[in-house]
Structure 1
Amino acid sequence: MTDRQAPATIKAAAPPGQAAFHLSINNPLVRAILWQVVAAFLVALAAWYLVGNTMDNLARLSISSGFGFLEREAGFQIGESPVAFGPQDNYARAFLVGLLNTLKVSGIGIVLATILGVALGIARLSDNWLVARFATFYVETIRNLPLLLQLFLWYGLLTEGLPGPRQALEPLPGVFLSNRGLKLPAPADDPVWAWVAAAFGLGVILTLVISAWNTRRQARTGRRFHMLPVGLGLVIGMPGLILLAHGGGAIDVPVLQGFNFRGGMTLTPEFAALLFGLVIYTAAFIGEIVRSGILAVHRGQTEAATALGLTRGQVLRLVVLPQALRVIIPPTTSQYLNLTKNSSLAVAIGFPDFVSIANTTINQTGQAVEGVLSIMAAYLVISLSLSLLMNWYNRRVALVER
């Protein structure tokens, strides 16, 4: 073949790094798309069958579908409600009460379980033999006992192990402990308490702002002042000054009347048993997470900080824990989600959480599908919101490569 002659056919080569596309069953990309289309079709077919079958059964039983029942009168009383509720209120407000109760026990439980879990994780690495063995015994025992069994245990201790209202224990003046719960003095209907609450919230915000500035100042200059006096002065001092300026605030003290107490605020046995069970159970898992996070920090970091003259507490707070957070936060987020979902076990001990109130609504109205969908939607929104918050915090504390 001479230089003037050219090949009979020339095939266009695919761009570098990109394979030529062939519409064939042998093409992996075509097969992947085909299998996804088939899977989506089968899922849609199953959903169509289930929805159609459910609608036919509802029509056969003369049960109307939809969420119109939420506007009907509930007709039942809720024993523990953060907002006013009576039998004349509708089911929508009953759902709101259940949701608030779930958020209350979950929020308080997350905070307390985190504090106890961090303490357990540090205790397991303690040089004190007794402290380390006690923490190990706690973690290994609590993690291997079913949570429902622990809830029954706490509920039995709080209801059967305490005296009745007439023989209630009074550890402090105005504080009564009985099988009806813990009665505490509470702020009365006085406008000064609104100002106290506003001052407390402002103090918390200012403390967080000053703490963030103090951290940036330490990174820039190496100097840091103690935040404890500043935080206490803002969070406690500001509300205290408002109370002093107004001559104090009215207090509603519980008083025994008949067979029960009147006035004050009540920590019911159901709420206490659920809270104790969730906190003690979840803290055992968080303790192991914290221990593994601390062990993940290289020992050289601790030795270098000690060589600079930092105390053991400063080494833990300023060097070890900030680096361990990148290991601790992701699995801890899962434990927070587990605590929130485990709060649905409240139905076993009579605490009116969202699941308990939804079950009562289902029994009264027969709207089982709508009730179950409401439960799924509530826990899905709570879990996704908590995950977004923890993922945002995880990005903030992540180590930035330079």
Structure 2
Amino acid sequence: MQTKVGALKPRLSLSDPRVRGWVFQIVTVVLVVWLGGYLFDNTQTNLQHRGITSGFDFLERSAGFGIAQHLIDYTESDSYARVFVIGLLNTLLVSAIGVVLATILGFIIGIARLSPNWMINKLATVYVEVFRNIPPLLQILFWYFAVFLTMPLPRNSHTIADTFYMSSRGLNMPAAIGTEAFWPFVISVVLAIAAVVLMVRWANKRFEDTGVPFHKFWAAMALLVVIPGICVWLTGSPVHWEMPQLKGFNFVGGWVLIPELLALTLALTVYTAAFIAEIVRSGIQSVSHGQTEAAHSLGLKSGPTLRKVIIPQALRVIIPPLTSQYLNLVKNSSLAAGIGYPEMVSLFAGTVLNQTGQAIEVIAITMSVYLAISLSISLLMNLYNTRIALIER
């Protein structure tokens, strides 16, 4: 009888953690779906009452305003869709330059923080403590208003080797204009890079088999110089240089880096490099000091020990937080709205939104773009982190 009574007990009970977990998950999903449906219906109702049409047809309309910097051809009669592409390219430009420069500067400062030289160590410490504790927007405003806008006018610009001209209008420099030999030169560079990769693989295999080292660096430099050099000798120069010339009150020709781009790039680089420096310092310190002693016992000096022993191991600690700093730099580029640099937020979520009134569509597009960029960076960094991770046996 006891067995029968026990068999009649219900199997589903909230006292069961698994059942309770499923119930909570189902209730949560139902609430989220209901809330999403309510917000969607409420938004549609308000848009209809105010006579605001929804949709993405506005992207085909003419923009009707100028843009200070555009990496592709643009006129005021172009569509809002082209404005979106220009804002995206400008965001990617400042993000890519900032990531590269911040990484280089951050690694230098981070290594300097561990220098036995008292002066270098303290200067690096002062750099980190100063720039990482000042909000990035204030740094952007400082570089823009206190540095670049105080530069002289183009007629009295600072000149470097009669080639580069720095003024309140920006940095004017020679522009490389492609010739008929440009694409053959690009192909030769690709072939040179492929030859370097094959050479490095061969040299590594040779070292594993025989223990005889090979001068990979100098061989790679030779390949990168000789193969494109032969192409230039056969086909001619791949580019010709257009020099900036002062005409009237401004320079004509060449390339110009506007003050907004310079201030934004410099501020984001300096700010992010301070955090990267601390990440690099902690990553290096995470490697056991026995590794350094073992390298020195094999005859390696401090420089090769740092490059070939310490940093490769420290990267496993450095990469995850470094990814976060790359994401922060990309998102901080939206602060460019404070100085009028035409990136995604100030150009598309600012000017275009005010002109069209399509707030939901514009904000949704902008958020989706930043989400896609961030996820792409995370994916690439995670793939690299997986590649260099230790494989347990």
Q: Same fold (TM over 0.5)?
A: yes
Equivalent residue, structure 1, for 2:103: 114
Alignment of 1:244-393 (within 5 A): 244-248=233-237, 249-358=239-348, 359-393=350-384
Letter paired with 1:83: I
Contact 2:62/2:80, CA 8 A, preserved across alignment: yes
Mapped pair 1:130 → 2:97: no
Equivalent residue, structure 2, for 1:3: none
User: Segments of 4+ in structure 1 off by > 6 A?
Assistant: 10-13
The change in CA–CA distance for 1:286 and 1:70 in structure 2 (over 3 A counts) is same
Equivalent residue, structure 1, for 2:54: 65
Letter paired with 2:196: T
Q: Deviations 1:243-273 (Å, cap 9, x if unpaired)?
A: 3434434211111111111111111111111
Matched residue count: 390
> Quick check: 48-57 or 285-294, which moved more?
48-57
Equivalent residue, structure 2, for 1:54: 43
Contact 2:196/2:220, CA 8 A, preserved across alignment: yes
- Distance across 1 between alignment mates of 2:268 and 2:242: 30
- Distance across 2 between alignment mates of 1:262 and 1:295: 51
Contact 1:69/1:91, CA 8 A, preserved across alignment: yes
Contact 1:187/1:193, CA 8 A, preserved across alignment: no
Q: Deviations 1:75-122 (Å, cap 9, x if unpaired)?
A: 112111111111111111111111111111111211111111111111
Contact 2:106/2:274, CA 8 A, preserved across alignment: yes
Letter paired with 1:365: T
- Distance across 2 between alignment mates of 1:321 and 1:99: 34
Q: Deviations 1:22-59 (Å, cap 9, x if unpaired)?
A: 20122111111111111112212221221112111211
Equivalent residue, structure 2, for 1:399: 390
- Distance across 1 between alignment mates of 2:280 and 2:23: 45
Gaps in structure 1 of 5+ consecutive residues:
1-6, 14-19
> Quick check: 20-29 or 107-116, which moved more?
20-29
Per the TM alignment, residue 284 of structure 1 is displaced from its structure 2 partner at its CA by 0.7
Alignment of 1:230-245 (within 5 A): 230-245=219-234
The change in CA–CA distance for 1:346 and 1:214 in structure 2 (over 3 A counts) is farther
- Distance across 1 between alignment mates of 2:277 and 2:162: 36
The change in CA–CA distance for 1:277 and 1:221 in structure 2 (over 3 A counts) is farther
- Distance across 1 between alignment mates of 2:5 and 2:203: 67
- Distance across 2 between alignment mates of 1:255 and 1:27: 80
- Distance across 2 between alignment mates of 1:189 and 1:139: 42
Equivalent residue, structure 2, for 1:197: 186
> Quick check: 205-214 or 266-275, which moved more?
205-214
> Identical aligned pairs, as a percentage?
48
- Distance across 1 between alignment mates of 2:10 and 2:328: 46
- Distance across 1 between alignment mates of 2:198 and 2:273: 29
